[in-house]
Chains A and B, each alone.
Chain A
Amino acid sequence: AQTVTQSQPEMSVQEAETVTLSCTYDTSENNYYLFWYKQPPSRQMILVIRQEAYKQQNATENRFSVNFQKAAKSFSLKISDSQLGDTAMYFCAFMKHYGRTGNQFYFGTGTSLTVIP
């Protein structure tokens, strides 16, 4: 079974500063996908960034980037130039593609990020 661990229940960062959220996972699979989702106070889940395990290059999306360490099974999210709108719960997720049986997603317990003005 796959497990996803987020060891930081809460974090805060000053506006315009950089913050890194940690995520580790446990799997015996070699091909999989990793995601960071954002859940603002509206509770709508929004995809922030995605990483394919077979790609060595770290994914980036504007101010968001990841540090993917496959051997260490680590997948951290870096938010640069933090903005007030980044205040949200952030979930790390693991997905294994099971062919005809579809995709299964496993989520961590989340990190509540507060951006302080």
Chain B
Amino acid sequence: SQTIHQWPATLVQPVGSPLSLECTVEGTSNPNLYWYRQAAGRGLQLLFYSVGIGQISSEVPQNLSASRPQDRQFILSSKKLLLSDSGFYLCAWSIRGSRIKTEAFFGQGTRLTVV
């Protein structure tokens, strides 16, 4: 069966420090991968999505970047965190090209607090 791992679960970082959140998927290949941010009252905001290694699309220009160094690994990064980067970050995956199993599967999320 497929599983998704996202870590760390919680993170407190000072302003100006770097960030690296990692997400890996097991039990599938060539997944679509996504990073979302959840802020109070704003739902899930799509930050990045990827359809393959090295292929990253950004939905919202901001202080963050994403990389996909391996097929089932998706990394969210920042060189210098801002207070406004605080939030709950969710990694998700879906089966590419499937019209049957179409849903997104989510990791357990990372609560990031920038202080």
Contact = CB atoms under 8 A, between A and B. Distances in A.
Interface of A: 6, 9, 33, 35, 42-45, 47, 50, 91, 93, 95, 97, 99-110
Contacts of B88: 43
B49 A91 contact: no
A89 to B, nearest CB: 9
Contact of B44 (A91, A95, A97, A102): A91
Contacts of A110: 43
A101 to B, nearest CB: 6
Contact of A108 (B34, B43, B90, B97): B43
B29 to A, nearest CB: 14
Contacts of B42: 109
B82 interface: no
B46 interface: yes
Contact of B97 (A50, A99, A107): A99
Contacts of A106: 46
Contacts of A107: 36, 43-44, 46
Given A35-B103, A47-B103, A105 B43 contact: no
Contacts of B94: 102-103, 105
Contact of A45 (B46, B99, B106): B106
B108 interface: yes
Nearest to B108: A44
A98 to B, nearest CB: 9
A45 B36 CA distance: 12
B90 A103 contact: no
Contacts of A45: 90, 92, 104, 106
B114 interface: no
A52 to B, nearest CB: 8
A33 B102 contact: yes
Most buried by B among A50, A93, A95, A103: A103
